[in-house]
Amino acid sequence: MIVAIKNEHLAVEFSTKGAELQRVVGIDSEVNYMWNGDANFWAKFSPVLFPIVGALKNDSYNYQGNTYHLSRHGFARDMEFSHEVTGSNAVTFKLNHTEETLAKYPFKFELNISYHLHGASLKCTYKVLNLDTKTMLFSIGGHPAFAAPLNNQGVYTDYYLQFNNDDELTYHHIVSNLIADETTTVDLKDKILPLQHELFYGDALVFKNLKSNQIRLLNTKNYNGLNFHFEGFPYFGIWAAIDADFVCLEPWCGVADGINHNGNLEEKEGIEQLEPQKSWERSWEICCF
């Protein structure tokens, strides 16, 4: 089911499957800032990564003496969310544990994903509630894919990312979907990373020490672009499918298993711990122009 919200600046659409953001269109410019979901490259738009980010070693983890299996990025992106629209400019999607989720993730939870329009900005807020009697262990992250070029204006290499606080980027390599110890450092001239398809031929660029909290998607041909702002996410991924005309900006609380991880969920890098009956919240925001 498609759900829509809008204001005087932006019209936005979501799917209730996965609470997935699918379109962000400027009212006056008619620019769609999101990837078009071409299945020849990647059929998703902005999946929600929960209750893990990335892959588990052997697609499994150990918790309290039991072994559980979860596929890459978890199950939320493939589940149907309920939703509530507030006025014309806000919507909240909700997902609760089920018998199916408890079989592979033994925690009772409520996940709320809220989107709110204000001016030319769209804010996404993740709110996790622990409904269990034990500490909840989880990861969560965003995976929005932004079009480059926008509305077929120019080519991929006309576009670039500008960071507000980084003069160089050190990213971890991915080997068989797991995080390797090997890193590469890229110097940024004027804090700019030019987009090239070859950047992502080895999978995502995974950052553990990004200083920036804002990344701008800009181009050399026209004024259209966006600011991507995020706070409180200790990990970040940048990715595109091979030769696809988009770039994903991915704020994460959590990360894929390292190649040497022992499989214990309590010892997983970046795992969030939430006490019983408590809530947890993080947000990211895009401003379109």
Instruction: Give pLDDT, residue 24.
Output: 98
Instruction: Give pLDDT, residue 11.
Output: 98
Residue 231, burial from CB neighbour count under 10 angstroms (0-12, 13-18, 19+): exposed
Residues with Cβ within 8 Å of residue 262, at least 6 apart in sequence: none
- As a three-state string, the secondary structure of the chain is CEEEEECCCEEEEEECECCEEEEEEECCCCCECECCCCCCCCCCCCCCECCCCCCCHHHEEEECCEEEECCCCCCHHHCECEEEEECCCEEEEEEECCHHHHHHCCCCEEEEEEEEEECCEEEEEEEEEECCCCCEEECEECCCEEECCHHHCCCHHHEEEEECCCCEEEEEEEECCEEEEEEEEEECECCEEECCHHHHCCCCEEECCCCCCEEEEEECCCCCCEEEEEECCCEEEEECCCCCCEEEEEEEECCCCECCCCCEHHHCCCCEEECCCCEEEEEEEEEEC
Residue 9 Rama label (left phi>0; alpha psi -120 to 50; beta): alpha
User: 34, 8, 283, 248: which is closest to 120 by C-alpha?
Assistant: 8
Cα 106 to Cα 68: distance, rounded to the nearest angstrom: 9
pLDDT at 70 over 90: yes
Instruction: Give pLDDT, residue 152.
Output: 87
Residues of the chain with pLDDT > 70, as a percent, come to 100
Q: Provide the β-strand partners of residue 32.
A: 25
pLDDT at 270 over 90: yes
Give the CA distances from residue 71 to residues 52, 59, 210, 242, in Å, rounded to whole numbers and listed in that order.
9, 6, 27, 21
Cβ contact 55:61 at 8 Å: no
pLDDT at 143 over 90: yes
Instruction: Give pLDDT, residue 141.
Output: 98
Average pLDDT score over residue span 217-230: 96
Looking at the 3D structure of the chain, how many domains does it have? 1
User: 118, 116, 111: which is closest to 77 by C-alpha?
Assistant: 111
Instruction: Give pLDDT, residue 217.
Output: 98
Q: What is the CATH number of the domain that holds 38?
A: 2.70.98.10
Range of the domain at 113: 2-288
Confidence of residue 226 (pLDDT cuts 50, 70, 90): very high
The position carrying tokens 């590469």 is 184
Confidence of residue 163 (pLDDT cuts 50, 70, 90): very high
Confidence of residue 178 (pLDDT cuts 50, 70, 90): very high
